[in-house]
């Protein structure tokens, strides 16, 4: 009799147990952020299916029947899918070569795949335009001069950045660092015992990579693929600079032109066109969630992992190093050289006056008070918003992975993550509508920038924190609970330190994206509240390429320092994480 009465009593005790203080605070924080992010999203997405407050298929009809929509959609899909697949393959290979093989060159190859990451995308696009423009492109001018020595005369080319292949090339360069960061974080968290066992059983280096390492990195590669699709369909500066010259239109450029460069603004059509992005990126996100919930990957914390030994590539070591250094040249150094020569020359021309190179462009940039204010604002936004976003993403990832919560937890998760599938420009329009007027009156304020970056960056940062949290076994938290630690202490002392290598990578990604952002800047910044992206766009619009190159180079120096610090810190935290497990 007593045994029968004990079971229902314990059952109801579990059912009626009060949530801990940490659970209450976590729920409140996540709920507040969910409302801030979801409110403008609902305002915009509602416009896709409602008109005058009533359900309507008219927005969908507008999207499907928009002029040139078939070519617009096909261009976007071909460019993003082509560059994205290349980026996933090359980025994963670069990460493996750098983390698991003797091809790594200490102090150099850590930064090789991150070179395009520290360049603002508009600077990279302009850098390659300066190099590969069919007429005055510096590389083309050099090649034509060399061919002229052999009696071969051509007036233009031989390369032309203003093509579909040129756009895919630039997209690919920009996207590789995101894959590299995701896969590197996974490799650093993954014990090397499985790979060591494969090599002992006779598997070669590349077979071990294909059969063991890649399957173990499923959550990281899935997260990288989603972020590649998101960034690909949110890219604005590259299709604006190169696509305009190539007469290749894509969804993002068409959307921003409908909002910013059409009078009156055709916001309804812009919102309707974003439905295509909603479907494509949403599908990628669902695939990533399916992989994460499948659980078929390595977790950290189940026992003492073997030390990660380096794979000896033998005769392939130097070809691998040449591959790493080659990517450094084409992704970072070449466009930087183009920007530097243009900045020192004072203007963009195939006729470079080497004896007259100077720093007048840098001086003009530094003497402009507006540029200094913009730089200060961007750095503050990167530090404050970036740190808050990454810490919040870590809290949300651990919160969402706990059992319980039911539909309420799923609603919170959807409210925060769903904005990842909407064009950033359209989402910002929703924020302007939602927060500019009564009762918030946030137009032109620093807080509106923070909210905007929360909406656009939390979904990206959460992909990294999800991957980091997924590699921490539940036994670690359970062991802390058994020892008497409260949930807040378990989060701060166990889960957060083990997630730290991935979170540092996420912070680096968010900080660099915010400081060099173009998309949010184009919609929210003004002369009274400038940021670096706004100043770069203004300089580009008036055609001052030397000043633009100088601004891009100075921003690159700052972001390089950030990436260097993040990389060093990530390795230090990686060592602590391994000792803890």
Cα→Cα distances 73→171, 214, 244, 256, 420, Å? 16, 32, 16, 15, 19
pLDDT tens digit sequence for 33-91 = 888 888 887 877 776 777 777 777 777 787 788 888 888 889 999 999 999 999 998 98
Q: Mark whether 463 and 549 lie in a shared domain.
A: yes
Q: Mark whether 455 and 544 lie in a shared domain.
A: yes
Residue 520 burial (CB count, 10 A): 26
Q: Mark whether 478 and 382 lie in a shared domain.
A: yes
Q: Does 455 reside within a domain?
A: yes
Max Cα–Cα distance, the chain, nearest Å: 104
Q: Mark whether 327 and 393 lie in a shared domain.
A: no
Q: Mark whether 418 and 480 lie in a shared domain.
A: yes
> What is the spatial distance between Cα 77 and Cα 86, in angstroms, rounded to a whole number?
14
Q: Mark whether 407 and 537 lie in a shared domain.
A: yes
Cα→Cα distances 408→27, 31, 414, Å? 10, 10, 10
Q: Tally the domains of the chain.
A: 2
Q: Does 289 reside within a domain?
A: no
Q: Mark whether 395 and 471 lie in a shared domain.
A: yes
Q: Mark whether 171 and 242 lie in a shared domain.
A: yes
The angle subtended at Cα 173 by Cα 169 and Cα 176, nearest 5°, is 130
Q: Mark whether 37 and 175 lie in a shared domain.
A: no
Q: Mark whether 331 and 206 lie in a shared domain.
A: yes
Q: Is the four-CA dihedral 328, 79, 454, 531 of positive or negative sign?
A: positive
What does the CA dihedral 521, 526, 530, 535 come to, rounded to 10 degrees?
Answer: 70
Q: Does 483 reside within a domain?
A: yes
Q: Does 498 reside within a domain?
A: yes
pLDDT tens digit sequence for 372-394 = 999 889 888 888 888 888 888 88
Q: Does 191 reside within a domain?
A: yes
Q: Mark whether 398 and 475 lie in a shared domain.
A: yes
Is the distance from CB of 198 to CB of 149 less than 8 angstroms? no
Q: Does 102 reside within a domain?
A: yes
Q: Does 198 reside within a domain?
A: yes
Phi and psi for 550 in degrees, rounded to 5?
Answer: -65, -45
Enclosing domain of residue 202: 69-248+318-340
Q: Is the four-CA dihedral 162, 164, 165, 168 of positive or negative sign?
A: positive
Radius of gyration of the chain (CA): 25
**pLDDT string in tens for the chain (581-residue length):** 444 444 454 444 444 456 778 788 888 888 888 888 888 878 777 767 777 777 777 777 877 888 888 888 899 999 999 999 999 989 888 888 888 788 887 767 666 666 666 777 877 888 888 889 888 888 888 898 898 888 888 888 789 999 999 999 999 998 988 888 788 877 777 766 666 777 777 777 677 777 777 777 777 788 788 878 878 887 888 898 898 888 898 888 888 777 767 777 777 777 777 778 777 777 776 776 676 665 444 444 444 444 556 777 888 888 888 888 888 888 878 888 888 888 888 877 767 777 778 888 899 989 989 989 998 898 888 888 888 888 888 888 887 776 555 677 777 777 776 665 555 566 777 787 788 777 888 877 888 888 888 888 887 787 778 777 776 767 676 676 777 777 777 777 777 777 777 788 788 878 887 887 877 887 777 778 888 888 887 887 787 888 888 888 888 888 778 777 777 776 676 666 555 55
CATH code (residue 156): 1.10.3720.10
> What is the spatial distance between Cα 225 and Cα 84, in angstroms, rounded to a whole number?
7
Q: Does 278 reside within a domain?
A: no
Q: Mark whether 470 and 431 lie in a shared domain.
A: yes
């Amino acid at each position: 009799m007593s045994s029968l009465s004990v079971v229902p009593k314990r059952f109801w005790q579990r059912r009626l147990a009060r949530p801990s203080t940490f659970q209450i605070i976590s729920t409140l924080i996540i709920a507040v952020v969910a409302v801030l992010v979801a409110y403008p999203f609902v305002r915009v997405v509602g416009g896709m299916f409602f008109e005058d407050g009533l359900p309507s298929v008219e927005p969908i009809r507008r999207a499907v029947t928009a002029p040139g929509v078939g070519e617009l959609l096909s261009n976007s899909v071909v460019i993003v899918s082509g560059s994205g697949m290349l980026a996933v393959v090359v980025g994963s290979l670069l990460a493996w070569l750098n983390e698991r093989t003797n091809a790594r060159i200490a102090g150099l190859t850590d930064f090789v795949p991150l070179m395009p990451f520290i360049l603002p995308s508009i600077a990279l696009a302009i850098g390659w335009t300066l190099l590969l423009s069919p007429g005055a492109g510096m590389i083309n001018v050099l090649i034509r001069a060399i061919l002229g020595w052999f009696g071969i005369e051509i007036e233009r080319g031989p390369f032309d950045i203003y093509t579909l292949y040129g756009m895919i090339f630039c997209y690919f360069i920009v996207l590789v660092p995101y894959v590299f960061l995701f896969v590197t974080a996974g490799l650093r968290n993954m014990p090397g015992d499985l790979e060591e066992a494969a090599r002992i059983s006779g598997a070669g280096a590349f077979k071990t990579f294909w059969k063991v390492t890649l399957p173990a990195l499923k959550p990281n590669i899935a997260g990288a693929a989603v972020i590649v699709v998101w960034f690909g369909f949110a890219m604005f500066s590259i299709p604006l600079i190169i696509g305009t010259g190539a007469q290749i239109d894509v969804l993002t450029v068409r959307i921003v032109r409908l909002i910013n460069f059409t009078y009156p603004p055709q916001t309804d059509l812009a919102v309707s066109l974003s439905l295509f992005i909603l479907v494509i990126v949403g599908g990628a996100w669902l695939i990533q969630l399916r992989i994460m919930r499948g659980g078929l990957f390595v977790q950290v914390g189940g026992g003492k992992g073997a030390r990660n030994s380096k794979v000896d590539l033998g005769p392939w070591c130097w070809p691998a190093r040449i591959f790493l250094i080659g990517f450094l040249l084409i992704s970072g150094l070449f466009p930087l050289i183009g920007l530097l020569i243009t900045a020192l020359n004072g203007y963009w021309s195939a006729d470079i006056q080497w004896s007259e190179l100077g720093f007048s462009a840098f001086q003009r940039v530094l003497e402009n008070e507006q540029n200094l204010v913009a730089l200060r604002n961007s750095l503050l936004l990167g530090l404050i918003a970036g740190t808050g976003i990454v810490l919040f993403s870590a809290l949300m990832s651990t919160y969402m992975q706990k059992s319980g919560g039911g539909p309420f937890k799923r609603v919170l998760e959807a409210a925060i993550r769903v904005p990842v599938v909407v064009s950033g420009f359209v989402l910002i329009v929703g924020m302007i509508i939602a927060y500019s007027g009564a009762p918030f009156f946030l137009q032109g304020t620093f807080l509106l920038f923070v909210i905007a970056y929360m909406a656009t960056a939390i979904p990206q940062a959460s992909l990294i924190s999800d991957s980091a949290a997924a590699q921490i076994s539940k036994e670690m938290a359970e062991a802390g609970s058994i020892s008497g630690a409260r949930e807040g202490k378990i989060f701060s002392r166990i889960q957060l330190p083990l997630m730290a290598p991935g979170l540092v990578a996420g912070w680096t990604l968010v900080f660099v994206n915010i400081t060099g952002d173009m998309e949010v800047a184009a919609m929210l910044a003004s002369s009274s509240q400038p940021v670096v992206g706004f100043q770069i766009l203004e300089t580009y619009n008036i055609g001052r390429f030397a000043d633009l190159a100088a601004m891009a180079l100075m921003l690159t120096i700052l972001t390089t320092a950030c990436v260097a610090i993040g990389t060093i810190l990530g390795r230090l935290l990686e060592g602590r994480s391994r000792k803890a497990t």
